[in-house]
Amino acid sequence: MGIKVAKFGGSSLADAEQFRRVRSIVMMDEDRRYIIPSAPGKRHSSDHKITDLLYLCHEHAQKGIPFGEIFELISTRYLKIVEELGLSLDLRPILEDIREKVLGGYSVEYTASRGEYLNGLILSEFLGYEFVDPAEMILFTESGVYDSKRTLEAVEKTLAKIENAVIPGFYGSRPDGGIQTFSRGGSDITGAIIAQGIKADLYENWTDVSGFMMADPRVVKNPKPIKEITYRELRELAYMGANVLHEDSVFPVRQAGIPINIKNTNEPEAEGTLIVPNGGDFSRSGMITGIAGKKGFTVITIEKAMMNTELGFGRRLLSIIESRGISFEHMPSGIDSISLVISDNQLNEKLDGIIEEINQQLKPDAVDVHDNMALIATVGQGMARTPGISGRLFSALGSEDINVRMIAQGSGEMNIIIGVENDDFERAIEAIYYAFVN
């Protein structure tokens, strides 16, 4: 027998019907011992997320504007779920207590956290699992920084004695007893921390998609799902803009070497995506894992004959952007040339000053600026051992008449990053995708 921690997102717990699905998923596998709920999400596209409504209540309370109607929407949502599930739980006094506290000036963190708290109460009753308030285990410092050491000790100690528990996501507490939340979407983080603390065998993240896709479905029609991906590959794709897990939620489980399985509550039999520790299995070699990209970069290329003999050239170049608080994404170099790839939102109006200083300090032969660039990363752990991947990639781009303006490859040979014109972005992703997937 192993231990699984299962986190269910807002759409998985949006109404009574979804709660029933969740229960049957939990009951299917007795290893699913610790369950982390989010607050109820949207039931349809024009619906409200409970957390958003709670933030709104707090904002109104702060400004002295009545928020009774909004709070009513929240109460009705929860009471309806309780009623439709046929539970005897009486949430009314708890809801009233929360309303009074929000009115009385309780913090925004307290207010927002009640979405998960209430959903946790319902789910624990429905599953017959013990309710454990994360305020007692997920601990922050006075200044609101997550305190991993104290938290992991508390999680281990508390849950060692509890066979099955529901632990609401998204929040914990500070030493003064005040509630502290993670950033939005933070229930993912709670799940990962609980998995790390009790040394789970698997962290399941149940959502409304059957895992990650190889490419953005808005760009490639019906992209294939990713069955397995390493933490490092995931980081590469997330960094390049793929909309995956909450970044901070990966860290605790990655550190503990615990795999994450992204699953679909509405299609539980689908395998989903398994995120595994790095290294090991190269059975995927020959295939790429995924493609992601971002628009909006500028490339500054500096040319100077014999720059390699000039001591400190690179350092001086980088200090010019550093002194303006700018970081760079990539720095491809050639013989007598070096380029800096910088995202436009960092550059703002600073470009002219940078060029001027480069000319003054480095006396280059030429400085070339190319804006409106997009970066696209093709990621795959198996790439390093498979000849011909880049050949396939570049010939696909060539036959689509797409001009590649920059090429960079990570040291682990796990990705190939190309720079193309913003306008060629979608076509380039499609060309790469169909070069590897048919």
The residue ranges that bind ligand ASP (CB under 6 A) are: 10, 38-39, 49, 51, 115, 169-170, 184-188
Closest approach of ligand ASP to the CB of residue 268, in Å:
20
Nearer to ligand ASP, 181 or 273 (CB): 181
Nearer to ligand ASP, 188 or 233 (CB): 188
Q: Which of 55, 71, 51, 57 is closest to 10 using CA atoms?
A: 51
Q: Edge-to-edge, what's the strand order for the sheet holding 4-8?
A: 130-131, 165-166, 32-37, 4-8, 202-207, 260-264, 273-276, 228-230
Nearer to ligand ASP, 187 or 261 (CB): 187
Report the alpha-carbon distance of residue 433 to residue 438 in Å, rounded: 8
Nearer to ligand ASP, 22 or 397 (CB): 22
Nearer to ligand ASP, 55 or 131 (CB): 55
Nearer to ligand ASP, 193 or 376 (CB): 193
Closest approach of ligand ASP to the CB of residue 206, in Å:
12
Report the alpha-carbon distance of residue 193 to residue 208 in Å, rounded: 22
Closest approach of ligand ASP to the CB of residue 221, in Å:
29
* Residue 71, phi-psi category: left (phi > 0), alpha (psi -120 to 50), beta (remainder): alpha
Do residues 119 and 13 make contact, with C-beta atoms less than 8 angstroms apart? yes
Closest approach of ligand ASP to the CB of residue 196, in Å:
17
Closest approach of ligand ASP to the CB of residue 38, in Å:
4
Closest approach of ligand ASP to the CB of residue 186, in Å:
5
Nearer to ligand ASP, 169 or 290 (CB): 169
Chain centroid to CA 333: how far? 31
Closest approach of ligand ASP to the CB of residue 113, in Å:
9
SS (H, E, C) 214-273: CCCCCCCCCCCECCEEEHHHHHHHHHCCCCCCCHHHHHHHHHHCCCEEEEECCCCCCCCE
Token output for 226:
């990713």
Q: Which of 380, 369, 384, 418 is closest to 398 using CA atoms?
A: 418
Using Cβ positions, the residue closest to ligand ASP within the complex turns out to be 187
Report the alpha-carbon distance of residue 326 to residue 347 in Å, rounded: 7
Q: How long a stretch of residues is the chain?
A: 438
